[in-house]
Each structure stands twice: as C-alpha cells, then as structure tokens.
Amino acid sequence: MLILGSFPSTASLAAQQYYAHPQNQFWRILGDVIGQPLKEIDYPQRIAAVQAAGIAIWDVFASCERAGSLDTAIRAAVPNPLAALRESAPALRRICFNGRMAARRIREVETLGFEALVLPSTSPAHAGMSFAEKLARWRDALRP
C-alpha cells in the first residue's frame, strides 16, 4: 500500500521528514490505524513501523513552486513518475491519496491498474472534518 501526499510542507522540508508540522494529524491517524504510537516515537522508528505494516509514503509531485505550505498555492509542479511503480513496486496494490490535491492524479493511478482511494487530508488546513471522521475513513481505506 502507498500513501501519496501532494508535496511536503515548509516544516517537513526543513525537518527532512514527512508530515513534520506539529498540527498535521497524519502520524496520529496512521498510528491509530496500525496500532503504533507513531506520534510519540522518533522519525526513524516511525518509518520502520510504517514499512513493517506494509505501507510506503511518497508524493505526487517531485518539485513545485509554492509560497507557504498550502496545496492551493502549488504552481509549476513536476510530477513524480507514478508509472514506474509498476516495475519498482510489483507487490503494490492500493494507492491512497492524502487529500484532493494529491488525488488529481487518480485517473493515472487507476489506468496503471492500482486500486485508488481518496482520503480526507490530514493537514491542519482541512478542518472541516472531525478527527474521528478522518480516522474512520483512513481506517476503512487502510484495511488489509
């Protein structure tokens, strides 16, 4: 399984870690789903726990221009080569998009033969849905 975000936030780029903004709910939600205290453990342990659960993390964009961290500010985006996943990750079956911006590439992923699901964004900017609702949607999507 692969979780695709759009592009790392300014905080994530500075920390060289996915979902480093302290208010992003990604690690809390994913931790609840896989039964690991991801938010409380250090980053290398987080990544190891996620990998052990059979989950990978990546972004739909390799680079972009953006003032700040909002997805709506992304300009001149260069896509990551999702088609290469067929060869580089032959066991991959399901791709989950973390939010609508990432999901703009859903047709491409479906054309490649992957199951594709759009999940509510874990970003603090997506405050229109409660944590419990987000968690329920993520839990359903990440079931084996």
The pLDDT of residue 59 is 97
120-134 pLDDT, tens digit per residue, is: 999 987 778 999 999
User: Is 24 part of the annotated catalytic residue set?
Assistant: yes
Phi, psi of 78 (to 5 degrees): -105, 120
Tell me which residue range forms the domain holding 35: 2-141
72-127 pLDDT, tens digit per residue, is: 899 999 999 999 999 999 999 999 999 999 999 999 999 999 999 999 999 987 77
* CATH number of the domain that residue 89 is part of: 3.40.470.10
The pLDDT of residue 124 is 81
42-78 pLDDT, tens digit per residue, is: 999 999 999 999 999 999 999 999 998 888 899 999 9
- Which among 24, 98, 121, 122 is annotated as catalytic? 24
Q: Are 18 and 12 in contact (CB under 8 A)?
A: yes
The pLDDT of residue 68 is 87
The number of angstroms, rounded, from the C-alpha of 96 to the middle of its chain's C-alpha atoms is 7
How many domains does one find in the chain? 1
Confidence of residue 142 (pLDDT cuts 50, 70, 90): very high
Q: Are 34 and 53 in contact (CB under 8 A)?
A: yes
Q: Give pairs for 31-37: CB < 8 Å, separation 24+.
A: 32/135, 32/139, 33/135, 33/138, 33/139, 33/142, 34/142
pTM for this prediction: 0.94
Instruction: Compute how many other C-beta atoms are within 10 angstroms of the C-beta atom of residue 43.
Output: 15
Residues 43, 129: Cα–Cα separation, whole Å: 27
The mean of the pLDDT values for the chain is 95
